Structure 1
Amino acid sequence: MRTLILILVVCVISFASCKKAAYLTDDGLHSEYVDMSTYDYLKSHPNGMFDTLLLIVDHFGLKNELNSAKTFWAPSDYSIKRFFKLKEALLKEENENAEYTFDQFLSDIEVDSLRAYIYSDAQHTLSTANTSYTHLNNGTSIDGFAYNKQKQPQGQWSYQDIYYLYYIKVRGEADQTAPDGSIRVDRNDQADVRVLCQTTGIKTNTGTVINVLNNYHTFIADFNESGESGPLIEDLENGLRFTYAVSFKAASSYSGATVTVPSAWIAETFALEADEIPSMIRNSIAFGAVEPNGTFNTNYTASAPGHWFSADGTVVPWGDNARLFSEFMPASWTFSIGQYPNRSAVGDTYTIKQALEYTNRSNKKLRVEFVFNVRIN
């Protein structure tokens, strides 16, 4: 069978007035081949999703190098904008009246930062991925990359095995992978940075395979070495508590940060195998928010399993009182924490709490709590 493009749609659905449109219409199978060069394909995107990326390519004179690449892990303009806003905010911390121009932005980028996404050795895509890491070498000063595929929980919409592709920056020792591709973070190690691909396997007529990275990836910055010291870990009478310091910029979008929690510790607490826990969540393992009064709230108000929180850490629906959300992705052991647009200011702090609860075969209730102390920069 011909390899098909796996399109992983990551979007916000608008319920504004609309009518049934093309996305509900079956217009046949799509080919992964495009009769254009890599550069021209990116330039031809109807929504200009790579226009800024190509300005950076042109700045460094890498058009021919890009066209001759075997694999390009393509960051979208959303990713580049996130990095631009990060650099701009750092400048304004020193001088609030300073203006950060695109020319300054270009001068702050090193050529190897762009080459960290370009590989000339082979085509790397979902069809070549294993659930274990495939390590990569791009021949630059920014090294330590890998990729893998991860099996997704069976959904009602498909009885076939579905895998997502991840581009990975290894931090410290490489995380261990379970047979399904999910990760296990060692107790004394930092979690690797795993970037989900939203589209994979586009093949151009110059021999490049393009894997488009998730829009929530921050260009370059996600691959910088982190100075995180890890969470504060405390023993509870019936489990563990992880406390994380999280910070992100005030924004007019739902942006924030991600936190990957150590599956090995959680599995040990519950006396279970790490790779069996994700499928148990929302079944025999309950996921909920811990309200300020201690109530365990399993009613989800954000994408399940997840919650919106008010300024004091109370679970609220999306709306007037919402400040932060926290959504858990069990397959990758990752929390996505973000903000309600234009509702927080620099210096605001919040504490939100969530937990997993499991009643074991001895009828003992065990709990792993996650506390996120969030600061808006």
Structure 2
Amino acid sequence: MKKIIHTTVLFGALVMFFCSCKRDDYFIGGSKHNAKVDMTTYDYLKSNSQGLFDTLLLLVDAAGVKEKINKPGISFFAPTDYSINGYLNKRVAEEQNIDPFRKWTIDSMIKYELPKFRDSIDAYIVGESIDYSTMTQNGKLFGTMLPGSQVVVSYEETRDPALGYNPNVSTIPRIVYYTFLFGPIAPPIVAQNIPSTLGKRERVQTSGIQSNSGMIHVLNNQHTLFFRK
């Protein structure tokens, strides 16, 4: 069985998108890539040179949900293996509150939580293609494939130097955020103002990848699977 990776992976993500590249390009690790890939969403994730999605795809295969992330016309906000590792760490802490010798591994997850994964992966899938032309600063409300759940997808300017802002450059970089809502919210929607009690806000570290089957947006490595707090 493949292990969850622990190598630090640096993503340029699109923070310099408007500063120096065409709309068809994006940045990973400082190198420019074409945002259109001639493969399915599953195959694109599998082809990642750092193995950033190996454990995710292990769960996808075990749960039999490959067709969900490859469904034509959807947007998949993919969690990385770091997100799964973070979830496992939280589950270990919960189990050890009961018995300090208990563990919770990927094997435990496959044995006991595949139905949960099979359903919850739908929270990462929006049933339409979301690209930069459909995004706004304040965010738009979308339904996910998980019945009754909604998210706000926003494309926000940032003045954070760690996210690519440079006061010497006239263009302000923009970042995609994916906010999973715990319940309905009243309009008007302003993504940055959604309190943590109403939604879990996650930065997208790589966005706007167009596969043969849909759009791919990769959530940041600090995200915890299932939007666990």
TM superposition score category, shorter chain reference = 0.7 to 0.9
Q: Is the radius of gyration larger for structure 1 or structure 2?
A: 1
Change in Cα spacing, 1:174 to 1:192, as seen in structure 2 (3 Å) is farther
Contact 2:88–2:105 (8 Å) recurs in 1: no
Q: Which deviations, in whole Å up to 9, do the C-alpha atoms of 1:145-171 show, x marking residues without a partner?
A: 121111113623521132110001124
Contact 1:43–1:54 (8 Å) recurs in 2: yes
State how 1:31-110 maps to structure 2 within 5 Å. Answer: 31-69=34-72, 70-106=74-110, 107-109=112-114, 110=116
Contact 2:158–2:173 (8 Å) recurs in 1: yes
Greater relative contact order (Cα < 8 A, sep 6+): 2
Structure 2 counterpart of 1:164: 175
Task: Extract structure 1 runs of 4+ deviating beyond 3 A.
Answer: 4-9, 174-178
Distance (Å, rounded) in 1 between the aligned partners of 2:194 and 2:122: 28
Change in Cα spacing, 1:82 to 1:175, as seen in structure 2 (3 Å) is farther
Contact 2:149–2:182 (8 Å) recurs in 1: no
Question: Which runs of no fewer than 5 residues in structure 1 stay unpaired?
Answer: 10-22, 225-377
Hey, which of these two has a bigger chunk of helix by percent?
A: 2
Distance (Å, rounded) in 1 between the aligned partners of 2:187 and 2:223: 19
1:220 partner SS: helix
Which of residues 184, 201, 210 in structure 1 aligns to 2:193?
A: 184
Q: So what's the TM-score if we normalise by structure 2? A: 0.76
Size of the aligned set, in residue pairs, is 199
Distance (Å, rounded) in 2 between the aligned partners of 1:36 and 1:145: 27
Question: Which runs of no fewer than 5 residues in structure 2 stay unpaired?
Answer: 1-20, 160-164
The alignment's C-alpha RMSD in Å is 2.7
Structure 1 counterpart of 2:206: 199
State how 1:267-346 maps to structure 2 within 5 Å. Answer: none
Which of residues 21, 24, 36 in structure 2 aligns to 1:4?
A: 24
Change in Cα spacing, 1:139 to 1:49, as seen in structure 2 (3 Å) is closer
1:165 partner SS: strand
Contact 2:154–2:176 (8 Å) recurs in 1: yes
Contact 1:175–1:191 (8 Å) recurs in 2: no
Q: Which deviations, in whole Å up to 9, do the C-alpha atoms of 1:207-229 show, x marking residues without a partner?
A: x110000101101033x7xxxxx
